[in-house]
Structures are given as structure tokens and as C-alpha cells.
Structure 1
Amino acid sequence: MLSFAALYTASLLGAVCGQQAGTLVAENHPPLAVTECAANGCIQTSKAITLDSNWRWLHTTQGFTSCISGNQWDASICSDPVACSTSCALDGADYSSTYGIRTSGNSLTLKYVYSSPFRGSRTFLLDNDSTYKLFNLKNKELAFDVDVSQLPCGLNGALYFAELPADGGISTQVHNKAGAKYGTGYCDSKCPHELKFIAGEANILDWTPSNLDPNSGTGRYGACCAEMDIWEANSISSAYTAHPCSADGLHRCEGSECDGGPTGVCDKDGCDFNPYRLGSKAFFGRGKTIDTNKKFTVLTQFITSNGTAAGDLTEVRRFYVQNGVVRQNSVSSIPGVPASNSLTDSFCSAQKSAFGDTDSFAPKGGLAGIGKAFERGMVLVMSIEDDSDRNMLWLDGTYPPHADPLNPGVVRGECSAGEGIIVEPDDPAPQVKFSNIRYGDLGSTTSVNM
């Protein structure tokens, strides 16, 4: 007879999420200290993280039987969305051994575990055991230390905000009995269709298994919401990107409203600032101005129209601190784009035009739209992921891969298409480490004179 541990490990090969709360594995949230700052000083608070439900063990409520094997649902259990939602439960997570997630004091390390069927991970910051911490950063700033030295081409260590429901949807979704404690309610500006549950119901209708990922697929619905990417990066390239949406909070999309064009709910492409893409090829990377061989601090400021939290969000500024030296973000050198080093609506419009990209940013609300999402409250997300569809070339290589690299905006980093295909190496698993997360009034989160 298999031991419980063996059954748990085997079930991970075919189970990733659910909406009932299981009782087979205790959920112990890894603690993580974060710091809130004001002009008169900073206070460290004890918080915790939880694993996204899409990574969790999904099994029948009455036993160990997996509700999904690989990327195929068990039709005998999941005959329809409601039956699946009421018959399947998600359980606690083995954060360290299975997912490579470790916390210590104010630091979070996310490893890319090759031996796990779901090699990456996605985590959310909790305010308490059953509620996500909500942030409003208008007229404020966020700083954190990051080490991307062990992140190669094709991987992305991300820290960002998304407009998830604070309780994971448990109060409004009839079939959701797990809530934020078990990491439910995820959404972002890509309106992801690979989520197994959306708005409390199983996303099994029109489910299509992926040809590239044996543990993934897509369903009829997507989960849309506003997203502010503070940090998407590896040791090669980095970007920060604003993605406004026309809908408030989590919106379950279907059909054309899931698209990124005029009929879509969200600006999927967003307005990004990638130093390499904008002409500063020597600014970020190994041995460059911001040397990714070493830890550094990332500082992001959210500037409003009237200098108060009541004003519209009009600018997102970026600074770096490394070896005690403060450096402003690189400056765009692309013809037709202002010589700017921050996100503004005018910069975004000019960049879209210069790169020949469709402008969905302004129609979806621009920076003011991101500000409105912050007013409603956004959740801090930290993840490590690969990209089986695009090999992360949109971040660190030539994208689209067959586009002319001489065209503005096509080359985003030095990685080749082949380097973005993740295969298990002989060296230890890649990882990203976030630490010393602090937020508060403008000018309050760093001891270095800005």
C-alpha cells in the first residue's frame, strides 16, 4: 500500500486546483515580513504568502482520486462545471519540497523545480490567514531588493499587482469554499484561459489540452483584471508594464471580450518600459550598469496629478540602488519616442506609434485606469515562470521571432529563441529572491538620498 506521502506526490502529477477546501494536508502559510514607511520612520509587519490554487492538489472531496490527470479532466467526476466545483477539493501545499518556495524573515526565494510537474510557482501576499493584503500606491512608492543572478534566458521572476478579490471570491462565488487561504480568485490582464477554476466554477467547457505543456490546457473562459507589472525580469532583461482594463475587478470573459483588441476587456500588451527595447543595451544585465550578477534595489514611484492620493495616476517612475549608488532608469533613445525614463500617457502613445503596436492602452483607461484599480485595492503577486508558448522572447529576445530585428521595438534582449527553451541542466535549479519589501510615502522607503 502506498504511504500518504507517496499518494500526495503522485497526485500532484495530475492535480492543480479546486474550489472546495480539503482536509488531507494542512495549509501552513510561510511567513514573510514586509515594511510600511512614512516620513517619520518605518514599521515592519508580519504577513505571509499563499500558493495560487492553480498549483495545488485537486482531488475528490471524499478521497485521494485526482479530478484531473495531466491536462485531462476526469469526466466521471467533472461532468459539468458545477458538479466539478462541488466534488473536488484543493488542499494544503508542501511549499519547500514540492514548489521550491522558502521564506526567511523578509525574504522570499522562488526556485524553478525541474522535478515538479509544475516547475514554476505563483504566490500572493496575505493580510491575514484568509484575506489578501490590498495595496493602494497612488502618491506612494514601493521598494524591494532582488537577486536575479540565477535566472537564465526563458525564465521570468516577477513581482506585480493584480486586482484579485480580497477574499479570493469566497463571499460572492457560491461554489468557492476555499478562498484566499488556498489562493483562489486569480486574474490578470492576459485574461488567462488556463485557470482551472474561474469565479468559483470549473473551467471545463471547451477544455483543450496543451500540445506544449503536458500539465496545462485552456477552457472557454478567461479571468480578466487590471495588472501593474512592477518587475518582470531575468539576468538578461527587465521590464515594468501597466495593463489597464475597462472592467472593475475580476471579470470572467468569453469570446472576443477576452481578446486584446478593441472588443477586449483588458490591454494585454500594456505600456512597457524595457531598457534594452528602448535603446539602452548596456544598462541592465550581467556586468552592465545595473549588474545582475549582484543584488540590487528596485524603487517604483506612483505620481499623481495633484500630489495626493486623490489625484489621477499620471506617471510611474523607476530608480535603482546598487552598491550604495542611486541610478535613475535608462532614457529612451528610439526615434519618435520622447527621451523619457518613466511611464506617462504621452510616452505610451508615442511608443505604440513608433513600434507599430496597436494602442489599447489609452482606450482601456491609461495610467488613470491603473490608479482606479489601486483605489479599489490590488494584490501583490510574486512568481517564477517559464513560457512554453513564446519562450519568454517578449521579455529577453527577438519578438515576434520572425520579425525584422532592425524594426524598432522588436529586439527586447540578447537571448536567442533556443535559449528560451527550458531543459533540465546539471547545475542547481534557477531561482529568484525578493527581499526587504517596503512601501509608503514618497521618499520614505530608502535610506539613500534620491
Structure 2
Amino acid sequence: MLASLLPLSNSLGTASNQAETHPKLTWTQYTGKGAGQTVNGEIVLDSNWRWTHKDGTNCYDGNTWSSSLCPDPTTCSNNCNLDGADYPGTYGITTSGNQLKLGFVTHGSYSTNIGSRVYLLRDSKNYQMFKLKNKEFTFTVDDSKLPCGLNGAVYFVAMDEDGGTAKHSINKAGAQYGTGYCDAQCPHDMKFINGEANVLDWKPQSNDENSGNGRWGARCTEMDIWEANSRATAYTPHICTKTGLYRCEGTECGDSDTNRYGGVCDKDGCDFNSYRMGDKSFFGQGKTVDSSKPVTVVTQFITDNNQDSGKLTEIRRKYVQGGKVIDNSKVNIAGITAGNPITDTFCDEAKKAFGDNNDFEKKGGLSALGTQLEAGFVLVLSLWDDHSVNMLWLDSTYPTNASPGALGVERGDCAITSGVPADVESQSADASVTFSDIKFGPIDSTY
């Protein structure tokens, strides 16, 4: 018999069929070189993965909403509750000390789960906020069990610290239940945005039995620290012209190919992928940075005056592996200066060399990113496959119809036939990524 629901009404609430116990995850806050203090954090599963129901009756089943419980956004939110998560049993998520492991396919008692997305919490009801400007963020990752088509991602987004409860009274679940997600792609698959159900114009995705798209998108500025598998990696800033989570619809979301650059967010971003930038021997199995072994990744946010108050001018990358510090690869593409950080000049030159739309510059570039970073961003860690373009934008040749030899289209050595979710899910169900030893502090303090 199902346990009774918590006594909440007229809001997106929480249910108690499964206790919500956040896995513990420690990380280290530095004030200077060698001066680190352990922080006892927790992680929480995104609300989109959770069972959503009323007294045991599904509000959302497969990739469709209940027509009786969810005839409109407000009624649906008032009817429905987010339940707790069995992190290891249902979602393949485990922690130990400072280590987090995300499994890909998990066969639970009631369903099969694909991938996951979690956030770092400061306490049980608030996300940990990171102010990145003039700081560095460091972690260790093991990508050895991630084949073509998968993405073990570490990134920051401009979510609300409490998951949106203060701004939106209809949302009572908050950060404790992983609400409030947004990113620069303006995702339409979020079931609840600002606490309201995204049921309007909902269309199940034809190639994903668990997902669909509603009228609204949840957009915000995003800093991709690490998008990677064992074959390729990239780090990418994305700018949005509005701050925080903004619920978009129509042209503001930039959904169509003809309006991709007319929305409020820079969906392309300014990416640094070593393979794409001309060094095919830098990252991968047995390469300079060997993805068959754990590697420590250091990302630095440099300002013009080396102070928190300064203007963001560079994003630098270093790796530590086998006791050696390895600087990021240098660009080896005609028309792009042979440097290795992300700067506005690098972004401008890369966009021109590759024939890409420079929406990054139009949205304000690094200066605009730095301004938004001052508010603090939430840390996201995820493992996912790509039902849109099979992750080819990360690890293969993309677009696949580009002219042979065109600059910027080679992003990794995976075949253009790779990454089909049905294939990856059946052939690499046991794939996983392990993140550990998260560190945060002043420049050059954490490695």
C-alpha cells in the first residue's frame, strides 16, 4: 500500500512513497595554494527523472501526460507531486566520499532508466552556488567506460539557489527535489517550469519513449566545463541575454533552424575541442591526455585585473595526469591564432574560419558571461545520449553533409553512423562515468 502524501495543496508538492535521501558528496574549498577545507555536500536528482503522481496514479506515464489530472498547467501542478528517488536502485547513481558514479542503463524494479542529471547541494534545500570569476574549478574524471555517442558532462547553469520556490509559490518541491533546471538550449522537455506543468502543446518524442516537448522552454546562461566520452571532449561558454531562468516560448526560444539565432540564448556557444582545433593526438585513448585513465581537469576564469571585480577575458584549461601538468592543446587551424585559451579573439577567429554564425559575440561574449557569473551558478553533473543528432557534434564529423575537408567539421574520430541511442543503450548498457575530487578556489590553488 502506498504511503500517504504530504499535506500540500494548490502547488507542485512532494510525495513520500519513496524517501528522498540525498547521497553525500564531499568536495574541497580552497582559500590559497594548499589551503583547502573539506565541504560536506549532497547531490539531488533532477525533477524530470522522478515519479510524478497523485495518490499513486501517474500524472506522467511514458512520454504523455494524464488528460484527467493534467488538463492545463496549473491544475496539473496542483494535482501532482514529485516522489523521492532510489538513487542506486532505480537510477544507477552512487557516491562514496568525494566520488560520484553515474550509470547509463539501470534496470529497476518498476522501470528501466536511461542516464541521469544531478546537482550539488549546499544543504538539503539549497543548491551550492559557485562564483567562478577569478577562480578555478577542478575535478577528476574517468571517461574510460564511455563510448561514442555518450556524454559525461560537468557544467554550470544560472539556476535559482532554492530551485525557484521563492519566486514561484506554486513550486513547493524546490531544490530538495531537483526543480528549476535551465540551460542555453532552451529545453522544452522539462515537465515543470517555474512550478507549472509544461503540458500545453505537449508532443511525445518519436524516438524517445520517455520524453516529449511542451510549448515552454527553460533557458539560461550555461558554462560547459566538460562534455566528453573516451573519444572526444569540449568546453564551451554559452550566453543568454536575460539573466537567470527565463521561461521562453516561440521565437524567443530559437527553436527552428531558420530562427536558431533569433532566440535569447547562444545555442552554439564558443567551443574548444582539441580535435576540432587541429590536434587529433591530444585527447583520447592512449593520447597525450589519456582517456583510458582518470584525469584531473582544471578550468580557470581569468579577469583583466586578476580580481573578482575584473572583466572576464580568458577561460584557460589545464590537465593533470601521471603526476604531470599538461597545458591545453594549441590551435592548429589556418586563420586562428595558435593559442590555447578561450578568448573573444579566439571565438571571433574560430567562427570566421569555420563559417559559423558568431552568435556568441552578438550576445555579449566573455564580458557578458562574466557579468552573469557574479550571481553564482549551480553545478550540474550528468550522463546522457543524444536523441537529436547522436552526439556527432561532439565526437564525429558534423554536420555530416559538409564538404570533404571543410574546416571545423571534424570533432572526433567516431563514425558518423555511431551514437544512435537505440544502439548505444543496447550495446553499452553498462557504460558509466565517475567524477571525483571536486575542488574550487583561487587561480592555481587546486592542483
- Report what 2:23 is aligned to: 30
Corresponding residue of 2:432: 431
- Residue 445 (1) aligns with residue 437 (2): no
Q: Secondary structure at the match of 1:419?
A: coil
Q: Secondary structure at the match of 2:271?
A: strand
Runs of 4 or more consecutive aligned structure 1 residues displaced over 2 Å after TM superposition? 114-118, 260-263, 422-428
Paired residue for 1:112, among 94, 104, 117?
104
The alpha-carbon distance between structure 1 residues 427 and 409, as it changes in their structure 2 partners (threshold 3 A), is closer
Aligned: 1:414 with 2:428: no
Q: Secondary structure at the match of 1:420?
A: coil
* 2:100 is aligned with 1:74: no
- Matching residue of 1:49: 43
Question: 1:363 matched to which residue of 2?
Answer: 362
Displacement after TM superposition at 1:39 (Å): 1.8
Quick check: 2:105–2:429 contact (8 Å CA) kept in 1? no
CA contact (8 A) 1:19 1:184 kept: no
What is the Cα deviation at residue 425 of structure 1? 4.8
Indicate the SS of the match to 1:159: strand
Whole-Å separation in 1 of the counterparts to 2:245 and 2:428: 40
User: 348-357 vs 403-412, which deviates more?
Assistant: 403-412
What do residues 344-392 of structure 1 show as CA deviations (whole Å, max 9, x unaligned)?
0110011111111111101212111221221011000000000011110
Alignment equivalent of 2:192, drawn from 188, 191, 197:
197
Counting only pairs closer than 5 Å after superposition, residues 279-358 of structure 1 correspond to structure 2 as 279-358=278-357
Distance 2:365 2:113 in 1: 34
CA shift, 1:48, in A, is 0.4
Q: Distance in 2 between matches of 1:320 and 1:30?
A: 28
Match of 2:249 among 250, 254, 257: 254
* Equivalent-residue separation in structure 2 for 1:427 and 1:242 (angstroms): 29
Partner of 1:97: 89
CA distance in 1, matches of 2:304, 2:101: 36
Matched, 1:155 2:150: yes
Give the unaligned 5+ runs of structure 2.
Answer: 4-10
Against the structure 1 CA distance between its residues 160 and 427, is the aligned structure 2 distance closer, same or farther, given a 3 Å change threshold? closer
Structure 2: distance between partners of 1:398 and 1:200:
39
- Of all paired residues, the percent bearing the same amino acid is 53
C-alpha separation between the residues in 1 aligned to 2:358 and 2:112? 37
SS at match of 2:237: strand
1:134 aligns with 2:129: yes
- Which is further off, 367-376 or 42-51? 367-376
Q: Aligned partners of 1:280, 1:19: CA distance in 2, in Å? A: 49
Say what the alpha-carbon RMSD is for the aligned residues.
Answer: 1.5
Query: Could you tell me which residue of structure 2 aligns to residue 14 of structure 1?
Result: none
In 2, Cα distance between the equivalents of 1:145 and 1:92? Answer: 29
Deviates most, 38-47 or 25-34: 38-47
Secondary structure of 2:353's partner?
helix
**Contact 1:261–1:360 (Cα < 8 Å) also in 2:** no
User: Cα distance, 1:19 vs. partner?
Assistant: 3.0
The separation in 2 between residues aligned to 1:395 and 1:70, in whole angstroms, is 28
User: Higher mean Cα deviation, 289-298 or 402-411?
Assistant: 402-411
Residue 114 of structure 1: CA displacement? 4.9
Task: Report the 3-state secondary structure (helix = DSSP H, G, I; strand = E; otherwise coil) of the residue aligned with 1:273.
Answer: coil
Name the CA distance, whole Å, in 1 between partners of 2:16 and 2:213. 28
Q: What is the DSSP-based 3-state SS (H/G/I as helix, E as strand, rest coil) of the residue aligned with 1:271?
A: coil
8 Å CA contact 1:397–1:414 kept in 2: the answer is yes
Amino acid in structure 2 at the alignment position of 1:437: I
Q: Deviations over 1:146-188 (max 9, x none)?
A: 1000000000000000000000001111211100000000000
1:342 Cα offset (Å): 0.8
Q: 1:169 aligns with which of 156, 164, 168?
A: 164
Residues 120-170 of structure 1, C-alpha deviation per residue, up to 9 Å, x if partnerless?
100000001000000001111111111000000000000000000000001
Q: Determine helix, strand or coil for the equivalent of 1:146.
A: strand
Aligned to 1:13: none
Is the 2:14–2:81 contact (alpha carbons within 8 Å) kept by the matching residues of 1?
yes
C-alpha displacement at 1:427, in angstroms?
6.7
Q: 1:322 to 1:251 in 2, by over 3 A?
A: same
In the alignment of these two chains, the number of paired residues is 430
The alignment partner of 2:132 has SS state of: coil
Provide the rounded CA distance (Å) in 2 between the counterparts of 1:170 and 1:383: 23
Gaps of 5+ in 1: 6-17
- Return the letter of the residue paired with 1:157: G
Give the Cα separation in 1 of the matches to 2:191 and 2:401. 32
Residues 219-257 of structure 1: CA deviation (Å, up to 9, x unaligned): 111001000000000000000000011001000011111
Indicate if the aligned counterparts of 1:157 and 1:234 stay in contact, CA closer than 8 A.
yes
